[in-house]
Amino acid sequence: MTEPPKPRRRQWSEGTRSTLLEAGARAFAEQGFDQLTEDGIARTVGLTRGALQYQFGDKRGLFTEVFARMLGDLVVLLSDQTMEKAHSVAEVGAGMELFFTLSTEPERRRVLLVDGPAVLGWDPWRIALRTAFAPLLHHAFGHWAQAGLIGEDEIAGHAELILGASVHAALADDAGDPAPRRALEAMLRRLSGG
């Protein structure tokens, strides 16, 4: 059974929203949140500030949506690619390595790791990361628990610790200081017996 056609106004609104999200993602990645205006973002796609405000409230609302989509896409990529590479105690290391590669691509780094905490606020940003990555990390550390490396009751703590350390190491590595990343990778290899 086919869906009934959507009213034109709804189609236009969804198209406008999608267009603004794409334009916002490009603009935030290239210029950063502080350098952009609502008018500037909307004009890049031939729309008005009013269209942006109608869809997202303001520039911060648009950024919040861009951030959520980009974070969701990153989690899907990590999940798909780590499940192919490792389904064992090595999954944490494989996931972390891929996280470094994907999260430090310039557009993701700026939106997710640099502007994210500044625009959203520390606690909402941290909660968003924890919520997004917890299923992957809990699954990966579940392999450690099954192997007797940690207790079941330690999975959540290890997941939180590795997420924070990975974000810090990714930013440090991107800034030219590879020491935190190397130390984290070495620590995980020793702990997992790899």
pLDDT tens-digit profile of 2-46? 655 555 555 556 788 999 999 999 999 999 999 999 999 999 999
Q: Please tell me the distance from the alpha carbon of residue 73 to that of residue 89, in angstroms, as a whole number.
A: 24
Say what the pLDDT of residue 53 is. 92
The answer to whether residues 29 and 110 touch, using CB atoms and an 8 Å cutoff, is yes
Q: Dump pLDDT digits (tens) for 59-68.
A: 999 999 999 9
- CB burial of residue 76 (10 Å; 0-12, 13-18, 19+): exposed
* Interacting residues of 45 by C-beta distance below 8 A, sequence separation 6+: 19, 20, 22, 23
pTM: predicted TM-score of the whole model, two decimal places? 0.87
The answer to whether residues 61 and 28 touch, using CB atoms and an 8 Å cutoff, is no
Say what the pLDDT of residue 193 is. 80
155-174 vs 179-192: helix crossing angle, rounded to 10: 150
Place of tokens 């628990």: 145
Contacts of the segment 37-40: beta carbons below 8 A, 24+ positions apart: none
Token code pair at residue 15: 């198209």
Q: What mean pLDDT, rounded, does the chain reach?
A: 90
Q: Please tell me the distance from the alpha carbon of residue 149 to that of residue 53, in angstroms, as a whole number.
A: 51
State phi, psi for 90 to the nearest 5 degrees.
-75, -10
